[in-house]
A and B are shown apart, each in its own frame.
Chain A
Amino acid sequence: MTRPDSDLHDLSLVQLAEQLRQRTVSAQETAQHFLARAKAHDQSLGVYLARDEAVTLAQARAADERLAQGTAGALEGLPLAHKDIFVTRDFPSTAGSRMLAGYRSPFDATVVARLAAQGAVTLGKLNCDEFAMGSSNENTAVTAVGHAQPEPVRNPWNTDHIPGGSSGASAAAVAARLMPASTGTDTGGSIRQPASFCGITGIKPTYGRASRYGMIAFASSLDQAGPMARSAEDCALLLSHLCGPDPDRDSTSLDLPPEDYSRSLNDSIDGLRIGVPEEFFGDGVADDVRQAVDAALAQYEKLGAVRVPVSLPRTELAIPVYYIIAPAEASSNLSRFDGVKFGHRAAQFQDLADMYRKTRSEGFGDEVRRRIMIGTYVLSHGYYDAYYLQAQKIRRMLSDDFQQAFKTCDVIAGPVAPTVAWRIGEKSADPLANYLADIFTLPASLAGLPAMSLPAGFGAGGMPIGLQLMGNYLQESRLLNLAHRLQQVTDFHTRKPQGH
């Protein structure tokens, strides 16, 4: 077989893994190929915040040795890049913030270490909304590789559009075939929404399934890591090695052994009950989105699944509840950025208090400051009960609503977002508009449920549309199984943007 060098980037993660195992292509050739592609697209997309050829090639060389010795791991030689929310020893870790520009972590995030332990090769670190706060990847404060100043990440399907956020670059990079897969994090939809906007597949596992150690915290009770790739099959491979208990480092990681999510991909979905919440199809939902989601559901019925109406009556409340709880936790999580132990410190100040104020005002961008203000307010004396506690009570109700729904269905399906990706700048002056667009991803996040996005078609301006699948706790394999079955009868996930 001749080496499909030029088409390496068209191979799926699973296919590439096979080629590497067969040694029809080496890890070093693979790394070289994707590093070259990265350079070629730095200008147009701005997805990379950090790359280091020497580090990447050294990892690839080690992978080739293990492949030669037959001691290869499950991901041996596979090139990935990590959202810059994960701290890494070998690359700077910035969370996309001036506050951490050039910060070097003395340790690797558990997720990064787990993937590396299976032989994955790191291409670099990927742009994101600052501290993962945003749904457009316009809240960027760190200058991307090949750029002169911080700029919004661009959507490869149309570079005038946003890729979604906060894992925007993770999605854009995979859609543009700059890497077969990447890691992202999802607090209120930050894996699912950009996956949807960039026409790829991404899954957020059950809260606690992936370790949060080494993930720069945004909202501790919501943050979850997950894989982003072109297909469910690729996500399953990555998720199998990304998840697992971390008892020594993360008290919130679940005490459950890793699972092989690939095994059940082809299971029959005959008679499977897909719950469709009416609240996910209200007036706010654009027609193109509605049609694509309907079409996907129709496909599922062809495959033998049953469509059952369910209700998630408090869906709309998820917005205020999330935007109180997440900022509350964030306001506390971000207090460590004070210019004392690491990161940015203001150059001029009168005294300690002034150093704190100037350091934090210079170091944090607008959206981060806004959320710190909201979070501080809702926790402050006299407002805690009315806001934070009330939000927690409704969080319970939202969670109960899901359990109610799961009595009559096996999974829940709906749109990921009300519209396709909007134009850069379209909503940047209006934070609230961004918040409202998160309405369909927030409920699963608040309940800690696994949820994913998979390509379901294309809408206005040829922009991708995603289908969201939500499962009950620990039902990741069921979701991936459903997604895989759809991807066997549709080709949305195999299409690629012009020029990629």
Chain B
Amino acid sequence: MSATSGSAASAPPATAATSQPPSIPQGPLVQGYEVVIGFETHAQLSTASKIFSRASTAFGAEPNTQACAVDLALPGTLPVMNKGAVERAIRFGLAVGAHVAERSVFARKNYFYPDLPKGYQISQFEIPVVQGGQVEFFLDGDKRAVRLVRAHLEEDAGKSLHEDFVGQTGIDLNRAGTPLLEIVTEPDMRSSLEAVAYARELHRLVTWIGICDGNMQEGSFRCDANVSVRKPGAALGTRREIKNLNSFKFMQQAIDFEVRWQIEQIEDGHAIEQATVLFDPATGETRAMRTKEDAADYRYFPDPDLPPLVIARDWVDTVRADMPELPHVLRARLASEHGLSEYDAAILTQSKSMARYFLDAVAAGGQPKLVCNWITGELSRRLNAQEIEVDASSVDAATLAALVRRIADGTVSNNAARQVFEALWTGEGTDVDAVIEAKGLRQMNDSSALETIIDEVIAANTKSVEEFRQGKDKAFNALVGQVMKASRGKANPSQVNELLRKKLG
């Protein structure tokens, strides 16, 4: 399997090269063992038709109503490649800085299974369409990169329904022939947390560039995790593959269980045997699948029904031209252009809509750092509480920008602004200035009025004044508090400090 990296066709050049040792810092040890995880992800490509036939890929149709003669492998049928699937593979290759192969080859993977109509799966073996590349993400503040070996095009299988029939299995081939991009990583991950962070980032990336709808319940994004453990510095241990992890929650549970199980086995003196396992959410455990007697021998060979897939450079350029700005690029731009920390920028680029919201607010005159704080703080808190996306926020970007402007120009204090936001969120008000006035939250910036208040406070609190003059700073704070209280919160705290110190000399 070739996994060459970086080429003229792809910017920035990919760093992957299977020969290099993982450039990943050691992860946390579990009972003295290092955890090693690699991922194989099947992303269903969001095409209208199947990869080799003109049948629809829509989810949830009546059984076998979207399985045409080609999908059923009826005698005499032949595959014809879907351009949309290739275009999406190119987009992914560009998104991860991989090499998009000028020439790649489809091969047959031969095995018998009722949901595999032809008795072989058309896939790519020796020469995949996407070679190398890497996925970058943050793990509690640290930047991580997982190198990709490859991503190749292949066809999905049908579904076996075991429940509905006594002693029999029903086969629905509607899904058969749905285009898949299988994305294979190096064994670069060192903890279940890192694995989940990678999976989330990959999920965000494929949805961000619009090649996959990311619907995990419907199986549009399925992960297989290859898990092994070893003593630090030792050679890679024997891996077991956890199949079809279709939720981030199960992903972590499954890997954690698997790691514990493998360590126990080794500690009890048993060798780990390579196996494919399934995670049972009910028990929270993984169990080995029934091994097919010949699973190991797929008899791959070039598919004689399909000439090589040739991707002209100018096609790659066209695809690159209409790629959306990628999360990591946008992240860098937010950091450099708006002076945000990489971490803040990362949070703002969680989703395309979140990033869009931020940029709109800034465009509407919101001071970037403040806008960022409000989005990552108040806004996110409320969105999460109500489990809604930012698009559904009852406070739009322009309104948040207006509020932030009022904080910046000193019209309202941060505390007052929260009350304004509350009113805007609940719909009590829609216009920022109107709410400020209605609630009388405007800060008092007229110093003469403030001086009067301060004089009164000094006069009424001689004790505190004395204590302050004797050097008790607490007393000063008490006086500030009194002034703020007297101004009913409208005084500008910094102004209060300044004037008070002046008067107390």
Please tell me which one of the listed residues A221, A252, A376 contacts residue B299 in the complex, with CB atoms under 8 A apart: A376
B58-77 residues at the A interface, CB under 8 angstroms: 69, 72-77
Query: Are B307 and A338 touching (Cβ within 8 A)?
Result: no
A379 to B110 Cα, complex, angstroms: 10
Residue of B nearest to A220 (CB): B304
Please tell me which one of the listed residues B75, B79, B296 contacts residue A216 in the complex, with CB atoms under 8 A apart: B75
Render B139-172 as a binary contact track against A, CB cut-off 8 A, 1 for contact.
0000000000000000000000000000000010
A217-255 residues at the B interface, CB under 8 angstroms: 217, 219-221, 247-252
A331-349 residues at the B interface, CB under 8 angstroms: 331-332, 334-336, 338, 340-342
A157 contacts the other chain (Cβ, under 8 Å)? no
Please tell me which one of the listed residues A86, A252, A352, A384 contacts residue B307 in the complex, with CB atoms under 8 A apart: A252
Render A300-336 as a binary contact track against B, CB cut-off 8 A, 1 for contact.
0000000000000000000000000000110110111
Q: How far is the CB of A149 from chain B (nearest CB, A)?
A: 24
Residue of A nearest to B114 (CB): A340
B117 contacts the other chain (Cβ, under 8 Å)? yes
A347 to B108 Cα, complex, angstroms: 30
Taking A221-B304, A249-B80 as contacts, is the C-beta distance between A332 and B75 under 8 angstroms? no
A214 to B80 Cα, complex, angstroms: 14
A71-103 residues at the B interface, CB under 8 angstroms: 86-87, 93, 95, 100, 103
B437 contacts the other chain (Cβ, under 8 Å)? no
A86 to B108 Cα, complex, angstroms: 24
For A217, list chain B residues within 8 Å (CB).
Answer: 75-76, 78
Residue of B nearest to A131 (CB): B75
A384 to B74 Cα, complex, angstroms: 28
B113-142 residues at the A interface, CB under 8 angstroms: 114, 117-120
Residue of B nearest to A208 (CB): B307
Please tell me which one of the listed residues B78, B118, B296 contacts residue A212 in the complex, with CB atoms under 8 A apart: B78
A388 to B297 Cα, complex, angstroms: 15
Please tell me which one of the listed residues A95, A221, A335, A381 contacts residue B75 in the complex, with CB atoms under 8 A apart: A95
B306 contacts the other chain (Cβ, under 8 Å)? yes
B315 contacts the other chain (Cβ, under 8 Å)? no
Taking A103-B75, A340-B171 as contacts, is the C-beta distance between A380 and B297 under 8 angstroms? yes
Taking A250-B78, A380-B299 as contacts, is the C-beta distance between A341 and B72 under 8 angstroms? yes
Query: Are B118 and A251 touching (Cβ within 8 A)?
Result: no
Query: Are A352 and B114 touching (Cβ within 8 A)?
Result: yes
Query: Are A251 and B80 touching (Cβ within 8 A)?
Result: yes
B: contact size bracket: 20 to 34
Taking A220-B304, A336-B73 as contacts, is the C-beta distance between A251 and B78 under 8 angstroms? yes
A219 to B305 Cα, complex, angstroms: 10
B301 contacts the other chain (Cβ, under 8 Å)? yes
A105 contacts the other chain (Cβ, under 8 Å)? yes
A95 to B79 Cα, complex, angstroms: 20
Query: Are B76 and A105 touching (Cβ within 8 A)?
Result: yes
Residue of A nearest to B68 (CB): A106
Q: How far is the CB of A150 from chain B (nearest CB, A)?
A: 19
B112 contacts the other chain (Cβ, under 8 Å)? yes
Residue of B nearest to A97 (CB): B75
A458 contacts the other chain (Cβ, under 8 Å)? no
Q: How far is the CB of B431 from chain A (nearest CB, A)?
A: 59
Query: Are A251 and B306 touching (Cβ within 8 A)?
Result: yes
Q: How far is the CB of B322 from chain A (nearest CB, A)?
A: 26
Residue of B nearest to A221 (CB): B304
A251 to B173 Cα, complex, angstroms: 23
Query: How many A-B contacts at CB < 8 Å in the complex?
Result: 101
Residue of B nearest to A86 (CB): B76
Please tell me which one of the listed residues B76, B77, B118, B296 contacts residue A335 in the complex, with CB atoms under 8 A apart: B118
A437 contacts the other chain (Cβ, under 8 Å)? no
Q: How far is the CB of B64 from chain A (nearest CB, A)?
A: 10
B499 contacts the other chain (Cβ, under 8 Å)? no
A250 to B72 Cα, complex, angstroms: 16
For B449, list chain A residues within 8 Å (CB).
Answer: none
Query: Are B74 and A106 touching (Cβ within 8 A)?
Result: yes
A: contact size bracket: 35 or more
B271 contacts the other chain (Cβ, under 8 Å)? no
A473 contacts the other chain (Cβ, under 8 Å)? no
A83 to B210 Cα, complex, angstroms: 48
Residue of B nearest to A383 (CB): B299
Taking A220-B304, A379-B301, A381-B296 as contacts, is the C-beta distance between A87 and B73 under 8 angstroms? no
Render B267-311 as a binary contact track against A, CB cut-off 8 A, 1 for contact.
000000000000000000000000000001101110011110000
Taking A380-B299, A381-B297 as contacts, is the C-beta distance between A93 and B75 under 8 angstroms? yes
Residue of B nearest to A379 (CB): B299
Please tell me which one of the listed residues B80, B110, B118 contacts residue A248 in the complex, with CB atoms under 8 A apart: B80
A86 to B75 Cα, complex, angstroms: 9
Taking A106-B69, A388-B301 as contacts, is the C-beta distance between A100 and B119 under 8 angstroms? no
A248 to B80 Cα, complex, angstroms: 7
A87 to B110 Cα, complex, angstroms: 25
Q: How far is the CB of B93 from chain A (nearest CB, A)?
A: 22
A109 to B74 Cα, complex, angstroms: 12
B81 contacts the other chain (Cβ, under 8 Å)? yes
Residue of B nearest to A95 (CB): B75
For B69, list chain A residues within 8 Å (CB).
Answer: 106-107
A213 contacts the other chain (Cβ, under 8 Å)? yes
Q: How far is the CB of B70 from chain A (nearest CB, A)?
A: 9
Q: How far is the CB of B173 from chain A (nearest CB, A)?
A: 8
Please tell me which one of the listed residues B78, B114, B171, B299 contacts residue A332 in the complex, with CB atoms under 8 A apart: B299
A422 contacts the other chain (Cβ, under 8 Å)? no
Query: Are B80 and A329 touching (Cβ within 8 A)?
Result: no
Taking A341-B117, A380-B299 as contacts, is the C-beta distance between A216 and B76 under 8 angstroms? yes
A215 contacts the other chain (Cβ, under 8 Å)? yes
Taking A328-B301, A332-B120, A336-B119 as contacts, is the C-beta distance between A251 and B79 under 8 angstroms? yes
For B300, list chain A residues within 8 Å (CB).
Answer: 379
For A338, list chain B residues within 8 Å (CB).
Answer: 112, 114, 119
For A332, list chain B residues within 8 Å (CB).
Answer: 108, 110, 119-120, 299, 301
For B80, list chain A residues within 8 Å (CB).
Answer: 247-251
Query: Are B305 and A100 touching (Cβ within 8 A)?
Result: no
A215 to B119 Cα, complex, angstroms: 18
Interface centre among A86, A338, A340, A356 (most CB of B within 10 A): A340
Interface centre among A215, A336, A379 (most CB of B within 10 A): A336
Q: How far is the CB of B241 from chain A (nearest CB, A)?
A: 19
Residue of A nearest to B64 (CB): A341
Query: Are A342 and B296 touching (Cβ within 8 A)?
Result: no
A445 to B76 Cα, complex, angstroms: 20
A93 to B75 Cα, complex, angstroms: 9
For A384, list chain B residues within 8 Å (CB).
Answer: 299, 301
A residues near B, CB below 8 A? 86-87, 93, 95, 100, 103, 105-107, 109, 212-217, 219-221, 247-252, 328-329, 331-332, 334-336, 338, 340-342, 352, 356, 376, 379-381, 384, 388
Could you list some 7 contacts between A and B, CB below 8 A? A86-B76, A107-B69, A251-B305, A328-B301, A332-B120, A338-B119, A381-B297
Closest 8 CB pairs of A and B: A335-B119, A220-B304, A379-B299, A221-B304, A214-B76, A336-B73, A87-B76, A216-B75
B residues near A, CB below 8 A? 69, 72-81, 108, 110, 112, 114, 117-120, 171, 173, 296-297, 299-301, 304-307
